[in-house]
Chains A and B, each alone.
Chain A
Amino acid sequence: MAERQEVVVVVIKENMRRTVILLIVIFCAFGIAAAQEVDSTKVYKKKVLESTEVDLLMSLYNQDGVHSPVNGGIGTEKLVDGTPTIVISIPLNENDVLTIDAGISAYTSASSSNINPFMSVASLLKNANLFNTTGASRGGTTVVNPNPTTPAPPSKPYGTPWLASTGASHSDVNKAVHTDYSHSSDSRNLIWGTNVSYSKEFDYISYGFGGNVTALFNEKNTEVGLKGSAYLDTWKPIYPTELREYMDYGAANFQSSGYFKGVTILNQAGNASTAYMPSAFTPWDSKGRNSYTMSFFTSQILTQKLQMALFFDLVAQQGMLSTPYQRVYFADKPNFYIGYPAFIPVYTTPDNKAVYQLADDIERLPKSRYKFPVGARVNYYINETFVLRSYYRYYADNWGLRANTISFDLPVKLSQAFSVTPSYRFYAQNQISYFAPYETHLSTEQYYTSDYDLSKFTSNQYSIAVNYLDIFTGLKIGSMGLKNVNIKYSHYDRSDGLSANIFSFGLKFVGDK
């Protein structure tokens, strides 16, 4: 049986490899054809891009939820992210355009702060009001809080999945730059391009490159395109504090050295114990994550008011596809904690103010993943006031995930300059084969995660956007005229309790011709 499964996997991999090679050959053929095309027309040509365009974009995102993967599937998921971005498109000549897209993403995350969840006595004193309650009752258990007038001794760190820690990992900045060059033929029926990208944050660095070719025919009623891209990424793995100590000092010494020196570890009954031993944990044997994508798309004008497009992607990912700081707790292993034993009975509720469970392991996922999303977009010009934009996607991958996405936008033109666009998006997925909630995985499993992003859920997103368009660019700043202002707000609700808000803002300036 195992041999048969192995043969099937080999056959699937071989088919995938052949498909990717075939697509690359087709892609190269298009590219060579494009390169060899003779630009014979010497008459005046309209530029592909008449003048330099500058987009200033900004988004503010916040979320909260109760299933933090860093805490093994429970705890706060509070996150705030700001993303200022600039996109500059420069016409190099009549046919060529260079686009530079650069931005940063600065975030603070309660979830990732709990890579090291243990707070010092200084923050304990600062948060002393957390203890000034008379007690909590949950599930028939009355919790007696520590004496609020007597702070804990300095040697007693504490943490909780329900609050952000003061650790260094509570914030980070991602810096990214993407450069794209495209060339259009004289007839404008063939476009090819190439791109490179780079992004970096504290524990992740990415180099990307790719190319694309698009052909238009049937009087530009039909468009066919092929795009290939590769991302060569590298993790700098950051492990949860307790597992890092186990890794650094070894099983024999880690409880009497480094961070754990002088710290009392508690068992499920709240008594001191030295039995904690995360023997399932081993550090990663590699740090790379490579992603290869071949995207095929085609669009077709159906009537004077109706057009559609199809998108079909083949994505192969290899390497470390799990996240090194996401904890997993096994149901068949005893539990150990650091902090105040009074909170152990309410550990999985927000009433837990000061005890943190030590990890059994980090999430483990297969080192390869193949994704097969296919999507369709249909846009209909209803009349001079309304346009209907619709999108559907079906997604499948070899981790067992299946998902459906559908969305509708209804731009309403209030005047020549102003439009308002309400939007709705529905998304549904099942869980991957390797997901299980907090404290339900078994240590005998090969792969495991408690990341609810890979669990079964549905989500609803409601948006409203306001758009201002001035085709004459009346408002000037230097040599640039303001062409477009776009403001959008979206609210996102996931059926597992996560909710998010995103506010985005965009200005488009166009240079003088």
Chain B
Amino acid sequence: MKKKACLMILAMGLLASCVSVKEYKKIYLNDPDMKLSAHQNERFESNFQVYREGASGANGGKTGGGCGCN
């Protein structure tokens, strides 16, 4: 799994070196629905999923701790 993660990060690095979208061409990327983070009120869903499921994390939110959850 570590190898896969390293490969993914490396791939992102390679992509970074060949793509550059200018600021004035980011009209689609700046759309609120294109945000790469979870929406504000998805926090409630993430919260109950942390309790009701064994897995958590890797979504920019809760990873365990701060509650008597899994």
Interfacial residues, chain A to chain B (CB-CB below 8 A): 55, 57, 59, 61, 63, 81, 83, 87, 174, 176, 197, 199, 201, 203-204, 206, 208, 218-222, 229-231, 233, 235, 289-291, 293, 295-305, 307-313, 315, 317, 323, 371-377, 379, 381, 387, 389, 391, 393-397, 401, 403, 405, 409, 411, 419, 421, 427, 429, 432, 453-454, 459, 461, 463, 469, 486, 488, 490, 492, 494, 498, 500, 502, 504-506, 508
Contacts and interface: CB of A to CB of B under 8 A. Distances in A.
A277 to B, nearest CB: 29
B6 to A, nearest CB: 10
Interface of B: 1, 4-5, 8-9, 12, 15-17, 19-23, 25-26, 28-29, 31-36, 39-45, 47-49, 51-60, 63-68, 70
A309 B36 contact: yes
Contacts of A453: 51-54, 70
A307 B15 CA distance: 11
Contact of B64 (A291, A305, A421, A505): A291
A323 B32 contact: no
A307 B37 CA distance: 12
A373 to B, nearest CB: 4
Given A221-B21, A303-B21, A297 B52 contact: no
The 4 closest A-B pairs by CB, nearest first: A291-B65, A231-B65, A375-B58, A373-B58
Contacts of A199: 66-67
A307 B29 contact: yes
Contacts of A411: 33
B14 to A, nearest CB: 10
Contact of B32 (A372, A401, A469, A490): A469
The secondary structure that dominates the A interface is strand
Given A206-B65, A394-B1, A490 B45 contact: yes
Contact of B55 (A206, A291, A298, A403): A403
A299 B39 contact: no
A502 B45 contact: yes
23 contacts: A57-B43, A206-B67, A219-B21, A221-B16, A289-B65, A290-B65, A301-B26, A304-B25, A304-B28, A308-B12, A315-B57, A315-B64, A371-B57, A374-B58, A387-B31, A393-B58, A405-B55, A419-B33, A454-B54, A459-B52, A502-B44, A502-B48, A506-B40
Nearest to A225: B60
Nearest to B16: A222
A255 B8 CA distance: 61
A57 B44 CA distance: 9
Contacts of A317: 64-65
A203 B67 CA distance: 10
A297 to B, nearest CB: 7
Contacts of A297: 60
Given A229-B63, A315-B57, A429-B55, 14 more contacts: A204-B67, A208-B66, A298-B9, A304-B26, A304-B28, A317-B65, A372-B1, A377-B36, A379-B35, A403-B54, A427-B49, A429-B54, A504-B44, A508-B40
Given A59-B41, A199-B67, A312 B9 contact: yes
B19 A293 contact: no
Contact of A506 (B21, B41, B66): B41
Contacts of B36: 299, 307-309, 377, 379
A496 B26 CA distance: 45
A300 to B, nearest CB: 5
A311 B53 contact: no
A7 B60 CA distance: 34
B56 A310 contact: no
B54 A500 contact: no
Contacts of B22: 219
A372 to B, nearest CB: 6
Contacts of B23: 219-220
Contacts of A313: 57-58, 63
B64 A371 contact: yes
A401 B55 contact: yes
Nearest to B15: A300
A61 B47 CA distance: 11
Given A313-B58, A419-B33, A486-B41, A291 B63 contact: yes
Nearest to A301: B21
Given A219-B22, A302-B15, A459 B53 contact: yes
